[in-house]
Amino acid sequence: MDVYCLIGYPVKHSVSRYMHNAAFQHLGIDASYVHFSIKPENLKKGIEALKLLDIKGFNVTLPHKESVLRFLDELAEEAKLIGAVNTVVKKDERLIGYNTDAKGFIIPLKEKTSVKGKVALVIGAGGSAKAVSYILLKEKIGKIFIANRTLERAKKLSSSLKKLGKETEVKVLALDEIKTIIKEVDILINTTPVGMFPSVESCIVDESLLRKLSKDAIVYDLVYNPLETKLLKLSKKFNLETISGIEMLVHQAALAFEIWTSKKAPVDVMKKAAVNALNLFSKNK
């Protein structure tokens, strides 16, 4: 039996194992997917242990998406450009890093709207924000505002984006400056963990600002636990189009599954497994 896994810290409430094991079972693949909680200071030892255990591939979640790069032997082009990895495959004793977050993010968004020429507000400046901003540039977004608690980190992301997409305007904001540009925004994206279980009453954007968004604006929260965050609930209150983080989660997982197995991922099966797991978590709170 081949073994795959997720590494991160913490991973207790992740639904990755439910998605991948459901996919393996559906396709009759003799494989299993498990979770390993690895603290940041133990990442190097953790990667070495995965090699010894002959793990065939693994997903990477917070807080390791950027720090894992130095322990890999090779990076796919997209992962190299983004500077973050969420999927690793072991091939001939070499670890190769990929980023499926970017494509996993854009698939549900393009089902709702065309990105070209639009104005996006990306909240956060970590690994997920890098992937989101990269694919928005690739899809010819008109302008990107990056708002983050730490301005220096946002400036660093902005600088790297300007090298990739010189035609797109990229501006950096403090979180309390969002109010100055909110009326310009077509697509608002939360890439931070604010609102994630158990802090379900937290919201990264004040209700008074959501009220000022255009009626055609889309609010996309990458948080998937709970399925409907407070940000999404408040956005629906103003009849705004919303996208839950479960959509990106499932699509990035499906892309990782295809990298590992070279088989078409059963996306519907994976989504059903993820939703069922989240519903089970909510009942057991």
Separation between Cα atoms, residue 183 and residue 80, nearest integer Å: 34
CB atoms under 10 Å from CB of 215, counted, come to 8
Backbone φ and ψ for 21, nearest 5 degrees, come out as -65, -35
Encoded amino acid at 110, one letter:
K
Handedness of CA 216, 220, 226, 230 (dihedral sign): negative
Separation between Cα atoms, residue 125 and residue 110, nearest integer Å: 22
Q: What is the DSSP string of 21-77?
A: HHHHHHHT--EEEEEEE--GGGHHHHHHHHHHTT--EEEE-TT-TTGGGGG-SEE-H
Q: Are 72 and 85 in contact (CB under 8 A)?
A: yes
**Which residues 6+ apart lie within 8 Å of 107 measured at CB?**
247, 248, 251
- Which one of 12, 39, 51, 65 is the catalytic residue? 65
CB atoms under 10 Å from CB of 2, counted, come to 15
Is 146 buried (19+), middle (13-18) or exposed (0-12) by CB count in 10 A?
Answer: buried
User: Is residue 65 flagged as an active site residue?
Assistant: yes
- Give the C-alpha distances (Å, rounded to integers) separating 118 from 52, 108, 162, 268: 47, 16, 17, 30
* Residues annotated as catalytic (active site), given as ranges: 65
